[in-house]
Amino acid sequence: MFYREAGDFKVSYVEDSQTFPIKFDRYRYYAVLAVAFGIVPFVINDYWANAILLPFLIYAIAAIGLNILTGYCGQVSLGTGGFMAVGAYAVYKLMTAFPEVSMFIHVLLAGGITAAVGVVFGLPSLRIKGFYLAVATLAAQFFLVWLFNRVPWFYNYSASGQINAPERDTFGIIITGPNAPAWATYLFCLVFLTFCAVVARNLTRGTVGRSWMAIRDMDIAAEIIGVNPLRAKLTAFAVSSFFVGISGALFFAIYLGAVEVGEVFGIQKSFLVLFMVIIGGLGSIFGSFAGAAFLVLLPVVLKVVGADMLGWPTDIVAHLQLVIVGGLIITFLVMEPHGLAQLWRVAKEKLRLWPFPY
């Protein structure tokens, strides 16, 4: 009834090949964009921005990035935290060196620098696969964190090795530092997320994405039908690292404002983003959003319910949180190994036939 192709006629090739060919999907997409851009900025406050929406938007970008590499191209990576650190330190060096340049440009440049670093660390993927590649990217993770801890140039020789985001603006609106209004930081991240999601969606529908998926599904067969593994793998590393770098730059400059590499971009961050991708659904843009929302919101919801509403001791709530999140992850993986995206896909199949299933 709600969700069906019947009666939705396409009269041109452009219409036929659009991103969301089904009307319901398309309108839902427009509605989400309208709410996110048109309503949320007017009602947002500091708590919603800093505790919930900013982490969600930023992790969603990171999850899209990792999903391209792991979900679409099949290259397991444990280096996400390290690549986010590259983005963060790149934007820090850029924003302190060129204070008058717009933050939009700095964040994009930071993504570009991370893409270059990602390609370098992606080179081993041409020779090694699977678990062995995971170990190689793990080396990237540890090396990058060590590098940013070790070389004082990266943190401008500050006494404690911390980097702090100074106040910077874009189009005259402050978007970093403590005086940035909540709506501005939110919109800034939202613009990047929308940009990344649209680019990722279109890349994965085109030649590049198809060559990634061919490599993922069977690399030897892909090579035989003419997919160049060097190009496919390295573009996947580059695009993925570009997104992850943007998320790292936003994570530092907009969300946290002060970062210490070992604590914020450690191995836990790599695992967290990997869990988001796995829970959300490998090889799905929607899954990246769902996974990020799940792992960002769940701890906050549990904390609000447990500590603020029920008044339980904070340590019990914190421990319960680990138990519940862990339990849910296992339940999800057992019941639905393809993640939240697959749940959504199943729901859509059901909706198509509703109310007359056969």
Partner 1 sequence: MNRKLTTLALAAAMAAGPAMADLTFPSLSYRTGPFAAGGIPFADGYADYFTMLNERDGGIGGVKANVIECETGYNTEKGVECYEATKGEGALVYQPLSTGITYQLIPKTTADDIPMHTMGYGRTSAKNGNVFSHTFNYPANYWDGASGAINYLLEINGDDISGKKVALVYHNSAYGKEPIRTLEELQKKHGFELILLPVDSPGQEQKSQWLQIRRDRPDYVLMWGWGVMNQVAIQEAANIRFPMENFIGIWWSGAEHDVMPAGSAANGYKALTFHNVGRDFPVFDDIQTHVVDKGLAAGAGDQIGNVLYNRGLYAAMLAAEAARQAQEMNDTADITSGMMRDAMEQLEMTEERMTELGMPNFGPSFKVTCENHGGNGMVGVTQWDAESQTWSLISDFKPTDAEVIGALIEEDSSAYASENNIEPQCN
Binding site for partner 1 (CB under 8 A): 41-47, 50-51, 55, 96, 149, 158-162, 164, 166-167, 173, 177-179, 181-183, 255-260, 262-264, 266, 300, 303, 307-308, 313-315, 317-319
Q: Which is nearer to partner 1, 183 or 195 (CB)?
A: 183
CB 212 → partner 1: shortest distance, Å? 31
C-alpha 133/C-alpha 145 separation (Å) is 19
Least distance (Å) from partner 1 to the CB of residue 213? Answer: 34
What's the half-sphere exposure (Cβ side, CA atoms, 13 Å) at 189?
A: 31
> Closer CB to partner 1, residue 58 or residue 73?
58
- d(CA 4, CA 23) in angstroms, rounded, equals 8
Which residues in 69-134 belong to E strands, given as ranges?
none
Selection from 156, 69, 72 nearest residue 114 by Cα: 69
**One-character DSSP codes across 113-146:** HHHHHHHHHHGGGGT--HHHHHHHHHHHHHHHHH
Please name the helix (run of DSSP H) or strand (run of DSSP E) that holds residue 241, with its range, or none. helix 229-250
Closest separation between CB of residue 163 and partner 1, Å?
Answer: 9
Shortest distance (Å) from residue 282 CB to partner 1: 25
Q: How far is the CB of 167 from partner 1 (least distance, A)?
A: 7
Of 134 and 300, CB closest to partner 1 = 300
Nearer to partner 1, 15 or 263 (CB): 263
Backbone angles phi, psi at 337, to 5 degrees: -65, -15
Residue 75 CA to residue 237 CA, distance in Å, equals 9
Whole-number minimum distance, CB 64 to partner 1, in Å?
A: 20
Q: How far is the CB of 164 from partner 1 (least distance, A)?
A: 7
Residue with tokens 């340590």: 315
45/207 with CB nearer partner 1? 45
Please report the beta strands in the chain, taking only residues with DSSP state E, as ranges in sequence order: 163-164, 169-170, 173-174, 258-259
CB atoms inside a 10 Å sphere around CB 307:
18
End-to-end CA distance of the chain: 14
Nearest to 18 by CA among 198, 143, 162: 198
Nearer Cβ to partner 1, position 91 or 115? 91
Which CB sits closer to partner 1, 96 or 342?
96
